[in-house]
Amino acid sequence: MRVIFAGGGTGGHINPAISIADYAKAHDADFEALFIGTRKGLETKLVPEAGYDIKYIDIEGFDRRNMLKNASVLMKLMKAKNDCRRIIREFKPDCVVCTGGYVSGPVTMAAKKEGVNSLIHEQNVYPGLTVKGSEKYVKYLALSFDETVKFMKDSSKCVVTGNPVRTEILEANRDKSRARLGITKPFVLIFGGSLGADRINETVISMLPMLKADGGIKLLFGTGERNYEKVSSAARQKGITDADADIEITPYIHNMADAMAAADVVVARSGAITVSEIAALGKPSILIPSPNVVRNHQEQNAREFERAGAAEVITEPELSAETLYGKIRRMLDDEKYLKEMSANLKRIAKTDALEKLYELMKDMSGN
C-alpha cells in the first residue's frame, strides 16, 4: 500500500499521522509512505526522525481577525493544491490520510481532483475549519467522538474511530519505564504541548521553589523548544541548579512513552491526542485547557474527563503556582483517589483507533 499523509504545524497533528504510518508499516510488508507538510512546523523534524520522506508546500491558515490577509491565503491555497496534485501524480498513492491542520485542505482537494480516495481525521469534539471544509472532498470523516457526527453535513461519511494512540504508548509499562528513567519517588510530568505553553511555563517556574522545598517529588518539565532558554534562565534565578537532581527541565520530551507511563500525575494541556494517551495509560492528570483554540474545544475535552471522574481541571484564570502545587500534593497523598481516577480513565479509553483507521485505508485502497 502506498499512502500520502498530511497534517502539520504541531505535534498534535503530526504524531497521529506518524502513528498511523507506523501501524500500517508493521502490518504491510509493501507499505510506503510520503508526508506533505510545511517548512514552518514540527513536521520538518518529527517526520524525518520517524524515517519517512516529506514534501513541502507553502500554505497557511485563514486569519479570522484580518480578513484582508485572506486574499493572499487563498492564492497560496490554489498554488498549494496544484503542487499537491503534482506530488500525487508522481507518488501514485493508493489513498490519502489527513490528520488535520491547514495543510490537509489542499491535499484533500488535490486527491479528489486526481481521483484518489482520502479521509480526514478530526481529533476534537467540535470539528475544525479544515475538517468541515474538506468534508465534500473525502470518502471518510474519521471522528474521535460520537458527538461530532451531529456537526457534519453528511453522516454517511462518518466513522467513529477514536484518536490514534502511538503503539509505544499502548505498550508502555510503568515499572519498566520507571526503572529505565531511574524513578524511585513520586513522579510528576508537566508539559504544555510540542510548542510549549507560556502560561504553564510561568506557573511552573514560580512553583519550582515549592517543589525544591518539598523534596519528595521528582519532576520532568517540558518547556517547548522556543521557550527553553527563557525558562532555564528563570529557573536559575529561582535558585534551581544542576545540583537539584529531582527537577529536570527539557525543551522537548523525546521519550514521552516512558515519561508518561512512569508518571504518577500528568499536568498538561487537554488537546485531543494528549487526553487520549493519558486515558490509554490510565494516568491521573491535571488538565489546563488552552483558551486560545477554536470554540474552546480543549475545555470541552477536559470537562468530559472531569465529568467521568478521570481528571482534575484548572482553567488559566484559576491557575497559580499555589493552586497547581496544592492540587499535585493532594493527589499524590491520596493513593485511593489516584487508583479510582485511573480506573475511570480505563473505562473511557479508546485504544483501537489505529486498527480502525488501517481498515479504512485498506478499503480506500481496494484491498
Mean pLDDT of the chain: 91
Q: DSSP E strands: which ranges in the chain?
A: 2-6, 32-37, 53-56, 95-98, 118-122, 140-143, 158-160, 187-191, 218-222, 247-250, 265-268, 285-287, 312-313
Are 302 and 289 in contact by the 8 Å Cβ rule? The answer is yes
The model's pLDDT over 221-246, given as tens digits with 9 standing for 90+, comes to 999 888 999 999 999 999 998 889 99
Alpha carbon distance 340, 332 (integer Å): 13
**Residue with more model confidence, 40 or 367:** 40
Mark 45-83 as b/e (b = at least 16 C-beta within 10 Å): ebbeebebebbbbebbebeeeeeeeeeeeeeebeebbeb
| pLDDT surpassing 60 at residue 63 | no
Beta carbons within 8 Å of 234's beta carbon, 6+ residues apart: 205
Range 336-358 average pLDDT: 94
Residues in the chain, total: 367
pLDDT band at 145 (very low <50, low <70, confident <90, very high): confident
The pTM score is: 0.79
248-260 pLDDT, tens digit per residue, is: 999 989 899 999 9
The rounded distance, in Å, linking the Cα atoms of 15 and 20 is: 9
Per-residue pLDDT at 147: 82
One-letter amino acid of 43: E
Q: Domains of the chain by range and CATH?
A: 2-165+351-365 (3.40.50.2000), 169-348 (3.40.50.2000)
